[in-house]
Amino acid sequence: MENQAIDRTHRIGQSKSVFAYRMIARDSIEEKILQLQHKKKRIAGDIIQADENLMQSLTVDDIKTLFS
């Protein structure tokens, strides 16, 4: 949802630079969500670019995290 909002700032015909800032407080729920998003993106990216060795190295926890 956040990425969608950032993408909407770059509309067709936009001539000025647009900056999106993400304010994350240390030890907050937002920080935990951001860490979870990064972990899920990494796992999903690994699966998409996977070779046999990577598929064999995925743990049950990795798969559960991806779908939780």
pLDDT digits (tens, 9 = 90+) for 19-35: 878 888 999 999 999 99
Q: Which amino acid is at 25?
A: A
Task: Examine the pLDDT at 45 and tell me if it is beyond 90.
Answer: no
Task: Examine the pLDDT at 43 and tell me if it is beyond 90.
Answer: no
Q: Is the pTM of this model over 0.75?
A: no
Q: Rounded mean pLDDT of 2-25?
A: 79
What tokens does 66 get? 């991806």
Of the pLDDT bands very low, low, confident and very high (cuts 50, 70, 90), residue 53 is low
CA distances from 56 to 47, 51, 65 (A): 11, 9, 16
